[in-house]
Amino acid sequence: MHLVHEGHEHSVGGRLTTLAERTDLPALLRDVRRGSTDALAALYGEYGAVVYDIARRITGSAADAEDITQDVFIGLPEAAAVFDGRGSFEGWLKKVAVRASLMRLRDRRRIHGLDGDRPPDGRLVADETGAAIDRIAIERALTLLPDELRVVFVLKEIEGYSHREAAALVGITKGASEVRLFRARKALQELIGGRP
Amino acid sequence: MSMPMGHPRERTLHRFEDGELTGRGRARVAAHLEACARCRALLLSIRSLKEAVRDLPRVELPDGLLEAALARRAAGDRVILPTADPRAPRITPAAARVAAVGLLLAAGFVAVRVGDAGAHASDLRFDPDRPVRGATIAVGYTPEAALASHPTLRLRARLRDRDDESYNGGMTSTVVSTLERDADGEYRGEFTLPDSIVFAAFAVEAPDGTLVDANDRRLWELLVHGDDGRPLADALEQRSHDLMGRNWELAFEAARERARLYPDEPGSLSLVGFFEPLVMGEQAWADSGLAVFQDRFARLDRKLRGRTDLDGDQLSEMMWSARRTEDSTAERHWRERLVDEFPRHTQTLQHRIVHEVLSPHYADTAYVLARLDSIWNTIEDEPVRGGPGYSHLLGQGLAFAAGTGDAELTGSWADRYLEVWPTGEVNVARAIARIPALRPRAIRLLEGELARLESFPDDDRPLHLTIEENRRRLERPIQSVLAMLGNTLIDAGETERGAETLARAAAIGWDTGVFRRVAEAQLELGRAETALATFARVAADPATTPAFVDSVRDRLGPAYDEARWREQVEAARRAMHDRTLEDATMRSLPDRVRLTTGDGRTRTLREIAGGRVAFVTMWDRYCGAASEALPEIERLATELQARGIAAIVIAEQSPSPELDAFLRERNVEITLYHDTRREAKRGFNAWGTPEYFITDGEGRIRFEYTDLTSVLRQVDALDRGAPLVP
């Protein structure tokens, strides 16, 4: 295993493939649509980490993120048919990953009731020695947020969507997105003890 | 100049930081911040959080996901991805009902085959959505991306009339409409419900059947309504029948809805009485559900006792409800009325056959056959035939006749059986094949059924399956018929043809029983070399005993070669893994399936499995089959645990001294976990017992509803890293 920050390096079938080496994304997508596993592996090499990262942060669950990442790449050959090539493929794929993650959360709610089964249950101790707010504490606190708050927080603050875009993805109003972001931040500050 | 202001609301500060606050409002807050250290500190804390979050590194990507995804694709898995944002809900009332009760659903997985895909974004609408009998219905369909490229789509339906039975085993499906794409990308079509139909389930598919949108396997539903706007009682009953085996909780929901809308219908109460113990668990129902049910029955009993206009079905339902309440007096009352007033009702027949014929005279074949024959003569001309009475009459008649070895007598019962159930060829062939004179007929019946199966009749295809998935589904029945046909041919003296037929069966899927028979036929034909390879397949199966391997040496005699034998067994073992994994599924369980230990603690299934492959048994102390299987479950569990595989036996019942005593009496030393919250039942979608599952190291279901003879082989295939076979 290796840590991927920008997702440019993956071993696929014993060789390194980077999309930077392939400037012909349309041809790659065409190959993927035709069922080429090499092409699919190349796309995974480039975007697998992005998809997994989004799924992991939205669902707060590594197991769910693994399933979602697999599902996204299993479904990609068929889904790529609707990518019209006009915008960024990465942007399109990220939105697919977001929607797949939201679906997973909805399924989870069917089983566990609203907001999953991990209510915030206490403060986490921030690391006072380094950064103003410890990253590990944030990571942990994020997983403790109720799903509906974490989703908006991740979309807005980590993935950089606007409130309008986040609202469209989640299926809520822009105002609701703003309110949820506000609540998410307050809950996070409570959890990491970062309130002044 | 800004007006002086008090502290802005905290949310306003957040909007300020996010740039959402503009114009004069922004200027006022900025002015306030210059003067207010407290609000500046608050703003700083918001900013710090934003910056810290922005700098979070991407999380680590685990190994193996690509390989797993490629393997699943290669195995035929397909996933329809959500490529569009959620739309404003446009759900039919029927679908809305499904969605409402969907809170109970156990479908905790996104990972779906094509056949299960996509209701989240697709949408099937009916107009009218509460049709009366025989209505013409306009259909609108908003497609999933993967289906949107087709100019037309097919709407397939399973149509049920009031008499259709539970489960969907014998049900057929049909294309009721071709949907055409309009300028907006929506698909439209229409169809007319036959007058007899009270309930229908639907799926939409590509014209070539390669892709199916089955609404996350829930399908779409249409219930026929009465003039008063209520769904018909028969529609709700058929809905519950259709959901049996698919989703017991939704089936129960339909039964409860029927009871709510039609409280005075005997069928409503008996349907609830069927489902409640199943969903609650027999013990929980005995503890808390039975008294309520008895009360409901007593009220209905008082209302209906004096009525003389009840039909046979209603009397029968009252008899069954009385039996549920354990009120033998009431049961006798309703049974006597049924038997007296409706002597040819199928439940009357069943009662007479069991209580007047089989129970008291089981050992007297001649008497039993004479009585069954006379019962047949009384109902031969009934216009509607079927149900449990006929099943008992014809099944027992055929079995008792075959037991006599009398070809003419058995042939006549076979005629009767096929007259009522023309699709019962396999059952009849199995019964008559033991009589030499009837083997040619058994062979013809089996060949007929084989030809039917191998034509892959589309009306037999379940709604949620693609044509290819249906072909794979039919492989097992085809293998079973081929095996039976091969054996019958050999018994009939056609050894060569029989061996060829068995070889065809063996080529379809891993079945050591078939392999053994093939090898024996090959030996009989003097083909010892070929037999050695086939016996090696039997030996490769981890369930095969060492004694069998020894016997092969003896039987092969000089043809046995140790080196070649080892090579063949190893090759067979690799083939077995591949073939076994072809049948594997991939279904996620909910994150948290909580179980109760014998000492009352709570542990999750994941904790108990501890990242290992696990053999999971759903077990019930009051189920005869589950109790009978206990020694074998224990033997397997011991063997697997010794090899580092988790063996988890989940009991319906809560821990109790009585349960401990039950196990002690049977000398069973097995650790039980207790599904007191019904989370395992829902997660596995296992409503019968015993049911067996194999989960992988990631906690996903890989083999579901499997059987004890396959467990070792399936575990072995999943756990190749630690081979079970030396």
CB B117 within 8 A of CB B78: yes
How close B601 comes to chain A (CA, Å)?
Answer: 19
Report how far residue A45's alpha carbon sits from residue A42's, in angstroms, rounded to the nearest whole number.
5
Q: How far is CA A36 from the centre of its chain?
A: 25
For the record, the structure tokens of B632 come out as: 């074998």
- Is the pLDDT at B369 greater than 70, yes or no? yes
What number of other Cβ atoms are within 10 A of residue A136's Cβ? 13
- Mean pLDDT for all residues in chain B: 85
CB contact under 8 A, B59 and A132: no
Name the minimum distance, in Å, from the CA of B72 to any CA of chain A.
7
Q: Which DSSP state fits A81?
A: G
Q: Hey, what are B53's tokens?
A: 């979050």
Predicted confidence at residue B3, as pLDDT, reads 41
- pLDDT bucket at B701, cuts 50 / 70 / 90: very high
Test B592 with A48 for CB contact under 8 angstroms. no
Fold of the domain built from segment(s) A119-196: Arc Repressor Mutant, subunit A (1.10.10)
Residue with tokens 């199995």: B430
Local structure of B598: helix, strand or coil: coil
- The mean pLDDT value for A27-46 works out to 87
Identify the pLDDT of residue B135. Answer: 94
Structure tokens at B673: 């976990």
Local structure of residue B36 (DSSP, 8 states): -
Domain boundaries, chain A: 7-117, 119-196
Instruction: Using pLDDT thresholds of 50, 70 and 90, give the confidence band for residue B375.
Output: very high
- Only one residue has tokens 């193996």, namely B64
Tell me if B203 sits within 8 A of B212, measured CB to CB.
yes
Of the ranges B47-56, B186-195, B349-358, the best mean pLDDT one: B186-195
The token pair that represents A47 in the structure block: 């975007």
| pLDDT value for B284 | 67
> How high is the pLDDT of residue B198?
97
pLDDT at site A23: 54
CA B392 to chain A, closest CA, distance in angstroms equals: 41
Query: What predicted TM-score, i.e. pTM, was given to this entire model?
Result: 0.59
Q: What is the CATH number of domain A7-117?
A: 1.10.1740.10
Over residues B286-315, mean pLDDT: 91
In whole angstroms, give the CA distance from residue B597 to residue B586.
Answer: 27
Q: What is the pLDDT of residue B400?
A: 93
Q: How far apart are CA B695 and CA B690, in angstroms?
A: 16
CB atoms A52 and B591 under 8 Å: no
| Residue-wise pLDDT tens digits, B587-609 | 888 888 999 998 888 999 999 99
Distances (CA, A) of B403 to A122, A185, B406, B433: 72, 78, 8, 11
Q: Read off φ and ψ for residue B446, nearest 5 degrees.
A: -65, -40
CA–CA separation, B77 vs B469, rounded Å? Answer: 10
- Distance CA(B42)–CA(B60), nearest Å, equals 33
Average confidence score pLDDT of chain A: 73
Compare all CA atoms of chain B with the CA of A108 and give the residue at the minimum distance: B108
Residue with tokens 């290669």: B74
Whether the CB-CB separation of B332 and B307 falls below 8 Å is answered with: no
Nearest CB among A61, A76, A131 relative to B591 is that of A61
Which residues share a beta bridge with B651?
B619, B674
Nearest Cα residue to B645 out of B653, B637, B635, B633? B637
Query: Helix B708-718 and helix B624-642: axis angle, to 10°?
Result: 30
Residue A9, pLDDT > 50, answer no
pLDDT tens profile B557-598? 888 888 999 999 999 998 898 888 887 888 888 888 999 998
Structural contact between residues B514 and B506, judged by C-beta atoms closer than 8 angstroms = yes
| Rounded-to-integer distance, Cα B179 and Cα B182, Å | 9
Distance CA B127, CA B132 (A): 11
- What is the rounded distance in angstroms from the CA atom of residue B575 to the CA atom of residue B475? 18
Percent helix / strand / coil, chain A, rounded to 5: 65, 5, 30
Task: Judge contact between B260 and B244, C-beta under 8 A.
Answer: no
When pLDDT is cut at 50, 70 and 90, the band that residue B349 belongs to is very high
Strand partners, B202: B157, B220
| Distance (Å, whole) CA B520 – CA B518 | 5
CB contact under 8 A, B60 and A135: no
Bridge partners of residue B189, in order along the sequence: B139
pLDDT above 50 for B90 = no
Contact B330, B324 (CB under 8 A): no
Q: How many CA atoms lie within 13 A of B335 on its CB side?
A: 16
**CATH (residue range B594-718):** 3.40.30.10
At B614-647, the pLDDT tens digits run 999 999 887 777 888 899 999 999 999 998 999 9
Round to whole Å and give the CA distance between B432 and B586: 40
Distances from the Cα of B55 to the Cα of A134, A159, B185, B198, angstroms: 11, 11, 42, 59
pLDDT for B36:
85
ipTM of the complex: 0.80
The more confidently predicted of residues B244 and B445 is B445
Q: How far apart are CA B70 and CA B178, in angstroms?
A: 34
Of the partner residues B46, B78, B588, the one whose CB lies closest to the CB of residue A75: B78
Q: How far apart are CA B640 and CA B642, in angstroms?
A: 5
Least confident range from A97-111, B307-321, B675-689: namely A97-111
CA distance B81 to chain A (A): 6
Using CA coordinates, name the residue in chain B closest to A5. B58
Rounded to the nearest 10 degrees, the angle between the axes of helix B528-540 and helix B546-556 is: 180
Domain ranges of chain B: 10-54, 93-262, 282-371+393-435, 522-580, 594-718
Task: Provide the 3-class DSSP secondary structure of residue B176.
Answer: strand
- Residue numbers in A near B54 (CB within 8 A): 157-158
CB proximity list for B179: less than 8 A, separation 6 or greater? B139, B141, B152, B153, B154, B155, B187, B188, B189, B204
Report residue B206 CA to chain centroid gap: 25
**Cα end-to-end span (Å), chain A:** 39
SS3 (DSSP) at B62: coil
Token output for B468: 């290819």
- Alpha carbons B635 and B649: distance in angstroms, whole number: 12
Give the largest CA-CA distance in chain A: 56
Whether residue A14 is predicted with pLDDT greater than 70 in this model: the reply is no
Q: Containing H/E element for A188?
A: helix A174-192
Query: Which chain A residues touch B102 with a CB distance below 8 Å?
Result: 110
Label residue A126 by pLDDT band (50, 70, 90). Answer: very low
Most confident listed range (B7-21, B372-386, B535-549): B535-549
The residue type of B539 is A
CATH number of B93-262: 2.60.40.10
* Integer Cα distance of B139 and B615 in angstroms: 45
Q: pLDDT at residue A128 above 70?
A: no
Give the per-residue pLDDT at A1.
29
With a cut of 80, say whether residue B230 has pLDDT above it: yes
Amino acid letter, residue B658: E
Identity (one letter) of the amino acid at A181?
L
DSSP lists the bridge partners of residue B201 as: B158, B221
> A82 to chain B nearest CA, in Å?
7
Q: Are the beta carbons of A158 and B73 separated by less than 8 Å?
A: no
pLDDT at position B659 over 90 = no
Among residues of chain B, what percentage have pLDDT more than 70?
A: 92
Contacts of B104 in chain A (CB under 8 A): 110
Higher pLDDT, A63 or B368: B368
The string of pLDDT tens digits covering residues B276-293 is 877 766 666 777 788 889
Q: What is the mean pLDDT of residues B47-57?
A: 81
Comparing C-alpha atoms, which of B225, B228, B187, B272 is closest to residue B97? B225
Q: Is the separation of the CB atoms in B689 and B619 below 8 Å?
A: yes
A74/B20 touch (CB, cutoff 8 Å), yes or no? no
Q: How confident is the model at residue A19 (pLDDT cuts 50, 70, 90)?
A: very low
Q: What's B438's DSSP letter? A: G
Q: Tell me the backbone φ, ψ of residue A120, rounded to 5 degrees.
A: -55, 130
The reply to whether residue A7 touches residue B58, judged by beta carbons under 8 angstroms, is yes
Inter-chain CB proximity B62 and A66 less than 8 Å: yes
* Predicted pLDDT at B677: 79
Do residues B397 and B372 touch, judged by C-beta distance below 8 A? yes
Q: What is the rounded distance in angstroms from the CA atom of residue B635 to the CA atom of residue B726?
A: 19
Note the pLDDT of residue B120.
44
Chain B CB contacts of A186 below 8 Å: 10
Burial B584-610 (b: 16+ CB within 10 A, else e): bbbbbbbbbbbbbeeeeeeeebbebbe
* Best CA proximity match to B606, nearest among B594, B619, B618, B615: B594
